[in-house]
Amino acid sequence: MLNYHEALLDKVRQVGLKNDFVYCETKRAVEGARGTKTMILPGIDVDIPVWQLDMGKTPLAEAVRTTRLDVKNAVRQAFRAGVPGIVISREYTEMKFENLSGAGDAIRELGLKT
């Protein structure tokens, strides 16, 4: 779907996206916007809720969950793809501070200013 080469649609909630998903999609968007005034700011999803309805017949306990390292890696991938910034997506009230802290880990590691 959408030319994504990830898990099958009915399995993506259990296995997640590939490790380089953010980099590949961000790089594609950056290259597509080259030569224009468009600024690419990828949204990094943190702790998106998963409902039983999303899982079909698979138990909800088998859904992949966000980790601090996942967030850190996604932020690093976005900046590696050449963006000037990111947006931390979804609802702040749904995010676990431990996982959200992964964004700060990456920003400090990359030496970026907030």
68-105 pLDDT per residue, tens: 999 999 999 999 999 999 999 888 888 999 999 999 99
pLDDT at 108 over 70: yes
* pLDDT tens figures, 22-73: 999 999 999 999 999 999 999 998 998 888 877 788 888 888 889 999 999 9
Tell me what pLDDT residue 29 has.
Answer: 96
Tell me what pLDDT residue 1 has.
Answer: 53
Tell me what pLDDT residue 2 has.
Answer: 60
Tell me what pLDDT residue 3 has.
Answer: 66
Mean of the pLDDT values across residues 12-26?
82
pLDDT greater at residue 114 or residue 59: 59
User: 93: helix, coil or strand?
Assistant: helix
Phi-psi region of 97 (alpha: psi -120 to 50; beta: other; left: phi over 0): alpha
DSSP string, 13-67: HHH---TTHHHHHHHHHHHHHTTSSPPP--EEE-S----HHHHTTS-GGGS----
